[in-house]
Amino acid sequence: MAVSDFMDLSRPPARPGLLQRLRTLRNRLVADAGFQRRVARFPLTRGFARKQSEALFRATTGFVQSQILFACVEINLFAMLADGALSTEDIAARASLPLRSAQRLLPAARALGLVRNSGHGMWMLADTGAVIHGNEGIRAMIRHHAMLYRDLADPVALLRDPQRQTETADYWAYAGERMGRDVSGADAETYSALMRSSQDLVATEVLDAYPLERHEAVLDIGGGEGAFLAAAGKRHPALSLSLFDLPPVAERARLIMKGAGFDGRFTAHGGNFFTDDIPGDADCITLVRVLCDHDDAAASALLRNIRRSLSPSATLLIAEPMDGPKPGESAAAAYFAFYFLAMQSGACRSPQEITALLAGAGFGSIKRVRTRNPLFASVITAKAVNEL
Ligand SMILES: C[S@@+](CC[C@H](N)C(=O)[O-])C[C@H]1O[C@@H](n2cnc3c(N)ncnc32)[C@H](O)[C@@H]1O
């Protein structure tokens, strides 16, 4: 007879187990101020205590750090310093700030590793500032977060009432129950420009991890304005490129890709990926930052629709941030849990959860492909199994 015949394994045991009791005792000890003082003084635990308190400080003050970064982007500080050093007075004048405000902002930006002193009261870009200056997508994302933070100003209210009106849900006009219906050209323009400008780092990560040279034709579903395909097309000149997205987005992709010189080898298909037929002639289908936008039922419907048109030898590639135990993965998952809360749709899933969705939609040969930086994307590939 199985153990489960005797016990209801879905319920926690009535009495806490030994491990739980030990952890509770440990937590009482850690909460004690005297114990904390001893750990902070003792040479072997001092470093650990400092790291713990720094992590707590970062979590407590994260909003202020984001606002310092946002202010630097808004006043164009990184562009100002791109060609060399400036004094505090110069920066204050160019940014239309009182001198006292520049004197407050610049040391704060230095503490975040955005700028550095170059002597004689002059300021230059530090490495992170230089990276932000070089990437319009990062700046666009930093600006975009002002909207998210308005929605998250009262996180408990949003957690209690996840359907309350949010700007983030309005912004992603295709998501949630709307399932891609009635997305206007204006809606599409707003989110597509943000997606295009932030695609660079993602495409580099994905194409390094899974070079597309082994394929002849790639179809990017929910491919936005074609930024991922443009990056793939530049790396692999023989690859034929096609994209499927909502009609106003597909139209934008057509114009942009034509302007970028991909005219002869690029096709854009407009339609709804939940309900319309997906062209089946590509040997690689990509879903880049798409599946995570949708709740499980919608994600399954999308995978089933792709499965219906997929040729048996074709590969499906899913690239998006995924949940996992590594620091980059769990940080991405914590962030996206709240992003998707404000968006009222979507989930940052673990590879196991994506595997379950894929298997349920008729996919097999499911493999994880390692990427360098899981903050940008993790990758899973799959193939259609013979029988649905
Ligand atoms: C988060 S964006 C990702 C865009 C692009 N793959 C990237 O990574 O930059 C999701 C894309 O899916 C498209 N999309 C959403 N719902 C759709 C639907 N029902 N049918 C077709 N495309 C859809 C959106 O228009 C958008 O371009």
Contact 235, 203 (CB under 8 A): no
pLDDT of 304 higher than 50: yes
Note the pLDDT tens digit of each residue in 310-340: 988 899 999 999 999 988 889 899 999 999 9
Distance between CA atoms of residues 183 and 333, nearest Å: 28
Reported as a pLDDT band with limits 50, 70 and 90, residue 6 is: very low
Mean pLDDT of 98-105: 98
Question: pLDDT at position 7, please?
Answer: 47
**Residue spans in the chain of domains classed CATH 1.10.10.10:** 60-134
Give the tokens for residue 181: 């219906």
Mean pLDDT of 192-208: 94
Topology annotation, domain 162-384: Rossmann fold (3.40.50)
**Residue spans in the chain of domains classed CATH 3.40.50.150:** 162-384
Note the pLDDT tens digit of each residue in 9-22: 557 677 889 999 99
Question: pLDDT at position 2, please?
Answer: 42
CA atoms within 13 A on the CB side of 33: 0
CATH 1.10.10.10 matches 60-134: yes
Mean pLDDT of 195-200: 92
Question: pLDDT at position 387, please?
Answer: 59
- The percent of residues in the chain predicted with pLDDT above 90, rounded, is 82
Which residue intervals of the chain are DSSP H helices? 18-31, 33-41, 43-74, 77-80, 88-94, 99-111, 127-134, 136-151, 155-160, 167-171, 185-197, 199-209, 227-235, 247-259, 296-309, 327-343, 351-360
Q: How far is the CA of 304 from the centre of ligand 1 (A)?
A: 17
Name every protein residue with a CB atom under 6 angstroms from any ligand 1 atom: 174, 179-180, 192, 195, 199, 222-224, 227-228, 245-246, 249, 272-274, 288-290, 293
Q: Across the chain, what does the average pLDDT equal? A: 93
**Residue with CA closest to ligand 1 atom 14:** 222
pLDDT of 263 higher than 90: no
pLDDT of 4 higher than 70: no
Place of tokens 């996840």: 162
Sign of the dihedral through C-alpha 12, 14, 20, 26: positive
Q: How far is the CA of 278 from the centre of ligand 1 (A)?
A: 14
> What single DSSP character describes residue 321?
-
State the closest ligand 1 atom to the C-alpha of 290, by its place in the atom list counted from 1: 10
